[in-house]
Amino acid sequence: MEQSYYPTIGVRVLLPSAGEFLKRMTHRPYKGTFDLPAQEPLLEEFGNFSPATLLTDLTTAEYELVNVVSEYWQTGKKHRYAAQFIFSHRNAQVAVLPWFARMRRGLEIELEEILQDAIWRRIRVFSNPIIEDGEEVEKMFAASIILDQRHPFYSYDGEPGIMPIIDETGNKVGGEIAVEAEHLFRFTASTLHFEDAVVGQHNP
């Protein structure tokens, strides 16, 4: 029998900064392997993608945020963050610790801002085996979403964002364009997929 849903979905993001709640979840230095999972690839696309509705999609599909794993590193005076927001389906019945439950809404708000305030030019999805008691659960898999190459719609001084032009393999081909989403990255009907975006509509 094939599984009808992913028990767990992880959303990984690479960020130039972190909000108040995400900083509280940062406990260890970055090791350089956060975005190199040894998993089965399901999807990799380059383009101008908006995951603005992804959190709403997951909530509608009865997923809830159950944990956040965050790492950091520093280059000169600049800090960078890598975070994984872990969602569990209601049927998986994952227990949430009281201290995390108190922080959860703040983390959800920060994730929503991360997803809505920018486009992402590289999206990867991997299938992960489910491990219980050290053994893989047969025919059960989790999903891992990696969002990379983030470009905010507006710069820190409020000016419209610009970004390099890239081809379908992610290589720069010269010139710059305004930061606009061409496709929405959605999770509906238990499926991760793309939809056409409305031109000029930043937050669907």
Q: Is 201 a member of any domain? A: no
The pLDDT value given to residue 106: 93
Residue 130: CB partners within 8 Å, gap ≥ 6?
Answer: 7, 8, 136, 137, 140, 141, 142
The pLDDT value given to residue 58: 95
Q: Is 2 a member of any domain? A: no
Per residue in 178-191, pLDDT (tens digit) is 888 888 999 988 88
Question: If residue 90 lies in a helix (H) or strand (E), which one and from where to where?
Answer: none
Q: Which residue has the tokens 């994984």?
A: 84
The pLDDT value given to residue 36: 41
**Number of compact structural domains in the chain:** 1
The pLDDT value given to residue 37: 44
Residue 135: CB partners within 8 Å, gap ≥ 6?
Answer: none
Task: State yes or no: pLDDT of 10 exceeds 70.
Answer: yes
Task: State yes or no: pLDDT of 57 exceeds 90.
Answer: yes
Distance separating alpha carbons of residues 163 and 197, to the nearest angstrom: 18
Q: Is 109 a member of any domain? A: yes
- Name the more confident of 104 and 40: 104
Task: State yes or no: pLDDT of 53 exceeds 90.
Answer: yes
The pLDDT value given to residue 1: 38
Q: Is 156 a member of any domain? A: yes
For the full predicted model, state whether its pTM sits above 0.85: no
- 53 — phi, psi (to 5°)? -100, 5
The pLDDT value given to residue 131: 67
Residue 17 and residue 152 in contact, taking contact as beta carbons nearer than 8 Å: no
Distance separating alpha carbons of residues 134 and 116, to the nearest angstrom: 37
For all residues of the chain together, what is the average pLDDT? 81
- 56 — phi, psi (to 5°)? -65, -40
Structure confidence at residue 4 as a pLDDT band (50, 70, 90): low
Give residue 55's domain range: 8-196
Q: Is 204 a member of any domain? A: no
Q: Is 152 a member of any domain? A: yes
Q: Is 24 a member of any domain? A: yes
The pLDDT value given to residue 105: 94
